[in-house]
Amino acid sequence: MQINRNYLNLQESYLFSTISRKVSEYKSKYPEKEIIRLGIGDVTLPLCEAVINAMEAAVLEMGTQQGFRGYGPEQGYDFLRLAVRDYYTSRGVTLQDNEIFISDGAKSDLGNILDIFGLDNTVLIPDPVYPVYVDTNIMAGRQIIYMNANEENSFLPMPDKEVKADIIYLCSPNNPTGAVYNKSQLKVWVDYALSHNAVILFDSAYEAFIQDKEFPRSIYEIDGAKQCAIEFCSLSKTAGFTGTRCGYTIVPNELVYENMSLNKLWFRRQTTKFNGVPYIIQRGAEAVFTEEGQKQIKENIKYYLENAKIISETLSDMRIWFVGGENSPYIWLKCPNDMTSWEFFDYLLETANVVGTPGEGFGKNGKGFFRLTSFGKREDIITAMKRISNLQF
Ligand code: MLT
C-alpha cells in the first residue's frame, strides 16, 4: 500500500488550524484573558428570519408522510437552482438551469472540481491566496506557477503573455487582500484564457460585499467568460451559512475542451461522489433569494461593512498602511515596525489579546502583511480597536 506522497509536500497543517492551535495554547496558559478573534473569516450574526422560517417549515414538512424527502437531486433541487438563476438574471447574467450546481460551499467544490482536469495541467495561482487553491493542487501533484500580487499591482495581478497556464484561479473580491478586479481587468483575463485554451476558476464568495457598481460581481458579466470560466459562490459570507453549508457552482454549457463538455463531466462527477445538500438547508438557501431574504441579508452585510469602517479608521489614525475593507470584509495591513507576519500575530495576541491572520500564511508575498476580518460582533470590534490603538509601535 502506498500513500499519496504529494501530501508530504503540504505544509504541516492548514493555516486556520495552526492559528486555532496557537490560540488554544495561549488560552490554556492564560485562561482569564478575553481573546477577540478576527482571524478566520467566520460570521457572527445569526441566520436571518426569512431563512429560519423557511427551514422551520421544511423541518415540519419532513415530518409528514407527504412532505418527507429522501435522496434529492445531486445537483440541487429545482426550486433553489431557479432562485439562483433568477438572482443572476437580476444582475444581467442569463444562465441555463442545468449550468447551476448546488454545493455545500465554495471550499468543497473548489477542491472537488480538480477531479475533472488532467494531472499534467499547469496551474496559475496568485500569491497571496486562499490556501485551498494551492493545497488541493499540491495534493494532486500538479505543477503550480505563482503570480505576484503586491503593492505595485494593487494586489491585482494581470496575465503575463509569456506564461502558459491551463487552470487559472481568480478570487474577487479577494481573500485575503480585499482587492477587487474591475471589468476591464477581468476582460484581459478572459481574453488570456480564451487565447491559451485555459480555464478560469473564479471564486466569487465575497461578491455580496461589492458596493461599488463599477465592479463586476460575476465573471459572466464579461463577454466570453462563459467559454472559459467556472464560477464558485457560497452563502457562507453572503447569508451567514458558514455553519449551515450551502453554495453554488456555475459550469456553463459553452465550456468545451478536447470536444468534451465540462458541464457533463462535472455532472458525472457530482452524481457519483456527492449526494446533494440537505432539503432543509436548500429551503433555507432559497429564502436568501426572496425579496425579504435579500433585504435581511443586506442589513447583515451593512453591519459587517460598518465594522470594516471602524477597523479602517483605527488603522488610518495609527498611520498603518492597509487596503480592502470597502467592497470586502477583509482588511489587509502592513505589519508595523517591520515585524514579520507571525511576529505581529504573537504581538497582537499577547499584548492586545486580538487574533488576526498572518499574511505569510497566504503565500510569500504575504510576508510582512496581516489580515483582519470584519465579521466580528460590533462590541468586539470596538474593544479590539481600542486595544490596538493603545499599542506602541
Ligand atoms: C477565511 O478566513 O479565509 C475563510 O473563512 C476561509 C473559508 O471561507 O473557508
pLDDT, tens digit (0-9, with 9 covering 90-100), for 50-109: 999 999 999 999 999 999 999 999 999 999 999 999 999 999 999 999 999 999 999 999
**Count of alpha carbons within 13 Å of 286, Cβ hemisphere only?**
20
| Domain layout of the chain by residue ranges | 14-43+293-388, 49-289
Rounded-to-integer distance, Cα 280 and Cα 54, Å: 8
Q: What single-letter DSSP state applies at residue 329?
A: S
The pLDDT of 245-267, averaged and rounded, is 98
Residue of 285, 227, 226, 273 lying closest to 47 (CA atoms): 285
pLDDT, tens digit (0-9, with 9 covering 90-100), for 281-294: 999 999 999 999 99
Rounded-to-integer distance, Cα 146 and Cα 156, Å: 13
Q: Which residues line ligand 1 (CB under 6 A)?
A: 40-42, 107, 130, 175, 236
128 CA distance to ligand 1 middle (Å): 14
pLDDT, tens digit (0-9, with 9 covering 90-100), for 66-80: 999 999 999 999 999
Q: Architecture of domain 14-43+293-388 in CATH?
A: Alpha-Beta Complex (3.90)
Q: Which of 20, 40, 177, 234 to mutate to test the pocket of ligand 1 (most atoms within 8 A of CB)?
A: 40
Grid cell 499519496 is found at: 4
Q: Architecture of domain 49-289 in CATH?
A: 3-Layer(aba) Sandwich (3.40)
Q: Which of 43, 108, 110, 130 to mutate to test the pocket of ligand 1 (most atoms within 8 A of CB)?
A: 130
**Count of alpha carbons within 13 Å of 359, Cβ hemisphere only?**
27
100-122 per-residue burial string, b: 16 or more CB within 10 A, e: under 16: bbbbbbbbbbbbbbbebbeeebe
Q: What is the pLDDT of residue 12?
A: 81
- Closest ligand 1 atom to Cα of 234: 8
Predicted TM-score (pTM) of this structure: 0.96
Rounded-to-integer distance, Cα 389 and Cα 148, Å: 31
Dihedrals φ, ψ of 245, to 5°? 70, 95
